[in-house]
Structure formats: structure tokens, C-alpha cells
């Protein structure tokens, strides 16, 4: 397996709307080009397989991540729309950690950035970032299905 989502791969260079990197930059080092962060780094999942000594468990974790993606996004959307600080932070942190654990590094970064926006009380900015979270989340899920959980 190789690292997916490098800037040389056509599918990994999905153009994030211009708003997203600017909005995502709040409170983080914006100097790192957002698009240069791997969409999905399969080495993270390989490390998880090694740590667990059972590749099937890591694959199940990735499958569970895919299956709850929509609910995670809905939780974040509802919490931001309702300006519920506790629930929004919980949703953003859950998205950040879960995405990092499956190698969804770009989405994990965006979740970290939206967490900062939530903490700052910039609800309007958080609302604007949701479209990017949705797009990037769907792209991450598709890449995991394609690269890590091929039909078979």
C-alpha cells in the first residue's frame, strides 16, 4: 500500500473551495498548504494493523468510521447551527480523532481548525466551514473505500 492523496494524484487533488483553507486557518499554522496534507495516509492504517496484530480489526475500524460519517457530520452541523458549544466541541473533536486514526489527515486538520473556530465563538465562520467538511468527508470516505477497503 502507498500513501494516497499526494498532490500528484488526480483524485487526491480535489479542489477545496477557496473559503475552506482560509476559514480553516483560524488558530493554526496556515503556512502549511492545506492541499499538501494527504487526503488519506494509508501508513496510518498499516501502523494500526501492526499495533493490533490483526488487520481485520483495523479494517473493521475503517468500515465503522465510514458507516458513521453521515451521523458525525449531522451532529457537527446541528451543534454549530444551534450554537451548542459543548456538543459542537465534542463533534469536532470526535471527527478530528476518528479521522486521524483512519489516516484522514486533511479532514483531521480541518476538524482541528473548526474546533478552534468553535472555541472562539465564531459560529458564522463555523457554519461556512460545514460545506467544506461535508465535501472533504465524502472524499475521505470514498478514498478509504477505494484504497483500503476494496470490494472483494
Residue 17 vs residues 28, 48, 77, 95, 135: alpha-carbon distances, Å: 18, 32, 18, 20, 9
Q: Topology of domain 37-147, per CATH?
A: 1.20.120
Domain boundaries, the chain: 37-147
pTM value? Answer: 0.80
In this prediction, what percent of the chain has a pLDDT beyond 90? 73
Question: Has residue 25 got a pLDDT over 70?
Answer: no
Predicted confidence at residue 32, as pLDDT, reads 62
70-126 residue pLDDT tens: 999 999 999 999 999 999 999 999 999 999 999 999 999 999 999 999 999 999 999
137-150 residue pLDDT tens: 999 999 999 999 97
Q: Cα(131)–Cα(129) distance, rounded to whole angstroms?
A: 6
Question: Has residue 18 got a pLDDT over 60?
Answer: no
Predicted confidence at residue 59, as pLDDT, reads 94
Question: Has residue 136 got a pLDDT over 50?
Answer: yes
Amino acid at each position: 500500500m502507498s500513501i494516497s492523496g499526494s498532490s500528484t494524484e488526480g483524485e487526491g487533488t480535489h479542489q477545496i473551495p477557496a473559503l475552506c483553507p482560509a476559514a480553516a486557518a483560524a488558530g493554526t499554522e496556515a503556512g502549511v498548504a492545506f492541499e499538501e496534507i494527504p487526503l488519506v495516509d494509508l501508513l496510518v492504517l498499516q501502523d494500526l494493523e501492526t499495533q493490533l496484530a490483526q488487520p481485520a480489526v483495523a479494517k473493521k475500524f475503517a468500515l465503522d468510521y465510514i458507516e458513521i460519517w453521515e451521523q458525525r457530520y449531522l451532529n457537527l452541523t446541528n451543534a454549530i447551527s444551534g450554537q451548542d458549544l459543548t456538543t459542537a466541541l465534542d463533534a469536532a473533536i470526535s471527527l478530528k480523532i476518528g479521522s486521524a486514526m483512519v489516516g484522514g489527515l486533511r479532514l483531521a486538520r480541518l476538524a482541528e481548525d473548526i474546533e478552534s473556530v468553535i472555541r472562539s465563538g465564531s459560529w458564522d465562520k463555523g457554519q461556512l466551514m460545514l460545506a467544506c467538511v461535508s465535501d472533504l468527508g465524502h472524499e475521505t470516505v470514498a478514498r478509504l473505500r477505494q484504497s483500503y477497503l476494496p470490494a472483494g
